[in-house]
Amino acid sequence: MTIDEFNDKFKEECGILGVFLGKKENVETQVYSGLLALQHRGQESCGISYRDNNEIKNIKKMGLVDNLFEGLKINTNLLIGHVRYSTWGESNIKNTQPLFSNNISLAHNGTLTNGDHIKENLMKKGIKFSTDTDSEVILKVFEEEGIKGIYNRIRGSYGVVIMKDDELIAMRDPLGIRPVCLGKIEDGYIVASESCAIEAMGGSFIRDLMAGEVIKIDENGVSVIRRGSKSINTCAFEYIYFAREDSKIDGISVGEIRTQLGKILGKEDFSNDHMVMGVPDTGTLPALGYAYESNLKYEPGILRNKYVGRTFICPNNRKNKVNDKFFILKDRIREKDLIVVDDSLVRGTTSKELIKKLKKAGANRIHYRVASPIIRCKCDLGINMKNENIIGHFKQIEEIREEIGADTLKYISTEDLISILGKNICTLCFTNK
């Protein structure tokens, strides 16, 4: 996981998809819908691998899913797909997934903590790598040592789909940090990062894979080839920011969690002339929850430009980024006291520019509310970032408030987050333990 420079959020979320059918069918429409449902998890590049008689065809494109499927026809019974945010390795076509080697195709969501070490050892043995991604480390270990090698050697977070021979294999890391779920479609099965992809393809959700579980899907159906554990430590940010609101992860509704987080924040006593609004898009449901709990009016005063691209954004001018990304309904917020609800706060740079923009538009006081605990440190389970990039690592809440220019600032507590999600979540970046 890295930091998304454009949104000032953690950036981890690739998306994986796998399809196995009882017979060959034209699947381009369904697969398009499935990958499109995962588009929020990765917008830099995308790709598919599918079996075409006795060979595997691998098609990859930079950009969005639309670019991949333009004019594409797919007749197959076995396919995997991927949407990517680059967390390890540059954003280019070489590193785009699925990866292919020796008639095996693999797609991966997550980040390895010992990928460099394993890669170095494999290269000493003469094994060659063609990409800069840690995902290829998983592929090479699988080629050399199979599934057992992956679980014995690899550390970090991973949800993986593999296409080998006439089989579809899906696996989840031993801690269950990254989600993988299984669904049924009319003549086969689907595996995906999120349940929303299964539903988008017209399938029905069966279950989440357990932590450390591996399943195989072939002509005989679904079989468990490595048993998992019910002790799961799903990354809390899947619920806070990464996943789509209509998904369920480990039996928990993402949208409902975000609303509940807002309700916890809303246990405050503000006068009725205050206006509640969310920072779109993932701040919207927490803001609605806040408004419901506090009995204050919700107004969408901050809107997001849906047509902002990423390719030509100047990397060093965050002010222009915020101006391009958000626009303010000035007549709605002028001379108003605002309660602005955001899903998380990493560096604080985007929040700072947004608050400046709101005050310039005429807002009075701005009470900034964050629907996650304060982020205190990097995560050693797969976040490729430094503590110096996290404002909560070296500043206390009052110092952060002053830095971003809010009149007041409040976060969800880690205890409140656990109270609604349960203990089966990873909170390392909040607690450093």
Contacts of 70 (CB under 8 A, 6+ apart): none
2-232 and 254-431 in the same fold: no
CA 83 to CA 45: how far, in whole Å? 6
Q: Which of 14, 196, 377, 429 is catalytic?
A: 14
In CATH terms, the fold of domain 254-431 is: Rossmann fold (3.40.50)
- How does residue 3 score in pLDDT terms, banded at 50, 70 and 90? very low
Q: Which is nearest to 141 in space by CA: 99, 176, 182?
A: 99
| 3.40.50.10260, 3.40.50.300, 3.60.20.10, 3.40.50.720: CATH of 2-232 | 3.60.20.10
From 34-43, 82-91, 244-253, the region with the lowest mean pLDDT: 82-91
CA angle 73, 99, 190 (to 5 degrees): 60
Which two structure tokens, joined as six digits, stand for 393?
A: 């690592």
For the chain, give every domain's residue range: 2-232, 254-431
Asked about 314 being catalytic, the answer comes back as: no
pTM: 0.92
Tell me the average pLDDT of the chain.
91
Asked whether the predicted pLDDT for residue 307 surpasses 90, the reply is no
**pLDDT surpasses 90 at 201:** yes
Task: State residue 432's pLDDT score.
Answer: 81
Dump pLDDT digits (tens) for 309-339: 543 333 445 456 777 889 999 999 999 999 9
Res 411 pLDDT > 90: yes
* Over residues 351-374, mean pLDDT: 97
Q: Average pLDDT, stretch 80-95?
A: 81
**Could you tell me the pLDDT band of residue 387, with boundaries at 50, 70 and 90?**
confident
Are 200 and 221 in contact, with CB atoms under 8 Å apart?
no
